[in-house]
């Protein structure tokens, strides 16, 4: 399910997020490599990216220009996790204050791969 589909379900169910907060749905943790090998639970890392599913009505969070489906980097011990029931399904959502939004990738874009830093020629 995409973030936009989840947003539509939540809005139809009457879910409203108040204030300068953002509701996020974590991306699925990778459990299998591209080559087909399964990653044991002890080696899996918590996913630090999530998709925006609800945006609060506060002026500061509106000024960030976030959209439903944008991909955010989330700190390891944030956000506050809640269980939200929508219809017959239950979702785990994270709620963050707008000041905790550090990086965003518009339209669900993939973050860039980090490579070696460029060498700067100081003689030029």
| Domains of the chain, start order | 3-29+43-108 (2.30.33.40)
Please, which pLDDT band fits residue 114 given cuts at 50, 70 and 90?
very low
Question: 49 has which bridge partners?
Answer: 73
Average pLDDT over residues 58-85: 83
Q: Which two tokens stand for residue 14?
A: 């009457």
Other residues' Cβ atoms within 10 Å of the Cβ of residue 35? 5
- Per the model's pLDDT, the better-predicted residue between 71 and 114 turns out to be 71
- Per-residue pLDDT of 5-61, as tens digits, reads 888 888 888 888 888 999 888 776 667 778 888 877 776 666 678 888 889 989 888
CA distances to 5, 18, 34, 96, 120 from 100, rounded to whole Å, are 25, 16, 32, 6, 33
Provide φ and ψ at 70, rounded to 5°.
-60, 145
What was the pLDDT predicted at 115? 44
Q: What is the largest CA-CA distance in the chain?
A: 65
């Amino acid at each position: 399910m995409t973030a936009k589909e989840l947003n539509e379900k939540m809005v139809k169910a009457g879910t409203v997020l108040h204030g300068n907060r953002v509701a996020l749905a974590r991306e699925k943790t990778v459990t299998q490599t591209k080559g087909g090998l399964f990653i044991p639970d002890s080696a899996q890392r918590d996913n630090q990216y999530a998709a925006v599913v609800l945006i609060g009505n506060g002026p500061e969070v509106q000024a960030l220009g976030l959209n439903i489906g944008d991909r955010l980097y989330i700190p390891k011990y944030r956000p506050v996790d809640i269980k939200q029931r929508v219809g017959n399904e239950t979702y785990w959502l994270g709620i963050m204050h707008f000041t905790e939004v550090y990086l965003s990738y518009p339209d669900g874009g993939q973050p860039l791969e980090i490579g070696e830093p460029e060498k700067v020629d100081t003689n030029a």
